[in-house]
Structure 1
């Protein structure tokens, strides 16, 4: 037997064994196709397609730590607050336009509080408390918006000293986009649960151009049959300097009160200068004057004129430490007829967003 015969015999033996085992061969199943997350850049950065749908989703949030102070009765230390916000923004296209759903939840912890007597003196310690709330929960389709959102009357200056009236509220609103930076909105808002059958009526006209923007607001409250008006202008004086102006008028007590709900002033004017020093640093300074205070007296169903005149000034420093980490330092001073003495207040705030 030579080498050639040996190799041929071995090959024949292997073929025979393979044929004998062919009936018992293991069949490997084909892997199921996987759908990886797809980026959705139609609505901007951060959106991705929800697997199996044409809906785009963006997950975001904020972690905030704030240290504040206020020269008021009972001011015995720093006022500290930690907040966590989580939001979901889902959007898709329909025959009626973009269908958007937005939710933002907030959790806040004050780190503990001090028990005080009627004179404001500390008498003990109360454990820290965590509060939670729904800040936003609404959907938009075309120009229609339904749910919990900022009141349509919402709008103020860029500082931390000012007041513009309004808050979060359940509502239905419609916005007509007229093009060329012009939009007109009308809203029906409910100031309280089971309050009455007549909603607040709000309106807004916005003009946005290359030089800046102008917003005109109006609100009517049937509780005392009063209305509120407001105008805010933002003008880009230079590439770095922005000038903001505010004027407001209240015929009487409304939910849109500049001081609080159903507490306000007959008229108010204010201004704010904002200067962009560089890509990371922005500074601002401004003030607001409030004239002829009033409040709503529910038992008599009338507006009570108090007549106090007050004013406030403030300065803000905004600094971007790194991307998505911002610091804000605000210092304000309040004075006028409603204050026994003028007082300072302010805060240092750190916002870490994602």
Structure 2
């Protein structure tokens, strides 16, 4: 007959009628033009992406129980998919989800060290005021227990700076990776620095043996943020190259924003790429 607001878990939640479970519905529509160009070819196309998210939470005798479902589809394939779906109980998470490796990298569109960070997985994360540690097990392919991976992370917030270390090991490939990362408030913006190394190709890292990168996001105005970034890569093949880019984000109005980026990679063909996006979020 009416909707009761639930403010126990943040804004946007309401009680599912007849229950003590709180539900939040959110999502976005993104219209974009993506382009790329090198010495031999150029390409560009429009694409529209739709995303709907359902988040639930309720208190229980074993802690807060939650769930998350994200449905997503694009105009290119005309099919909606379950992009993520998982259950949480306190710091425990189980389902099809991004893992700790998804947090690796810096702002901008240039970092590309991690190639796989979403699997059927289970993980546990413990957080205090200043420290966070986590451990997870991933099913890297549909081969079940014949191909598992393990990830771990630890981070510490030290005033205006946060330091984090990530690691993972693919038991099927018998290869692993390690990443160190720093983010800090500096001047009118935020600085991010990271470096990563992988022993050989795995489900987590398939191209780069090592990389270092840095990005700085500063607010030019209340609505405009500009992020220049630089990255250096070395592939398992021995090829190495430099990359740089600039990302600009502008908040047009409440729930409506635009993003523009231009990126360059100094490979054998000198690759340029970028996009222009209009995003409606709710």
Unaligned runs of 5+ in 1: 1-34, 111-128, 258-262, 295-305
CA distance 1:55–1:67, change in 2 (3 Å): same
Helix, strand or coil at the partner of 1:130: coil
CA distance in 1 between counterparts of 2:185 and 2:42 reads: 42
Give 1:332's match in structure 2, choosing from 240, 263, 271: 263
Give 1:175's match in structure 2, choosing from 119, 125, 128: 125
Structure 1 segments, 4+ long, off by >6 Å, are: none
Question: Counterpart of 1:267?
Answer: 210
More deviation, 185-194/72-81: 72-81
Q: Does 1:323 align with 2:254?
A: yes
Give 1:86's match in structure 2, choosing from 43, 48, 52: 52
Helix, strand or coil at the partner of 2:152: strand
Asked if the contact 2:167–2:178 (Cα under 8 Å) also holds between the matched residues in 1, the reply is yes
Question: Counterpart of 2:167?
Answer: 218
Query: What is the CA-CA distance between 1:51 and the residue it aligns to?
Result: 0.8
Query: What is the CA-CA distance between 1:106 and the residue it aligns to?
Result: 0.3
Helix, strand or coil at the partner of 1:78: strand
CA RMSD of aligned residues (A): 1.6
Query: What is the CA-CA distance between 1:94 and the residue it aligns to?
Result: 1.1
TM score, norm. by length of structure 1: 0.76
Helix, strand or coil at the partner of 1:153: helix
Q: Does 1:200 align with 2:200?
A: no
Unaligned runs of 5+ in 2: none
Give 2:228's match in structure 1, choosing from 281, 285, 288: 285
Helix, strand or coil at the partner of 1:161: coil
**Bigger strand fraction:** 2
Query: What is the CA-CA distance between 1:132 and the residue it aligns to?
Result: 2.3
Higher relative contact order (CA 8 A, sep 6+): 2
CA distance in 1 between counterparts of 2:40 and 2:14 reads: 49
Higher Rg of the two aligned structures: 1
Query: What is the CA-CA distance between 1:194 and the residue it aligns to?
Result: 1.7
CA distance in 1 between counterparts of 2:273 and 2:253 reads: 27
CA distance in 1 between counterparts of 2:198 and 2:224 reads: 36
Question: Counterpart of 1:137?
Answer: 85
Q: Deviations along 1:234-293, whole A, 9 cap, x unmatched? A: 11012x211100100111111111xxxxx22222110001101222000010111012x2
Asked if the contact 1:280–1:320 (Cα under 8 Å) also holds between the matched residues in 2, the reply is yes
Question: Counterpart of 1:11?
Answer: none
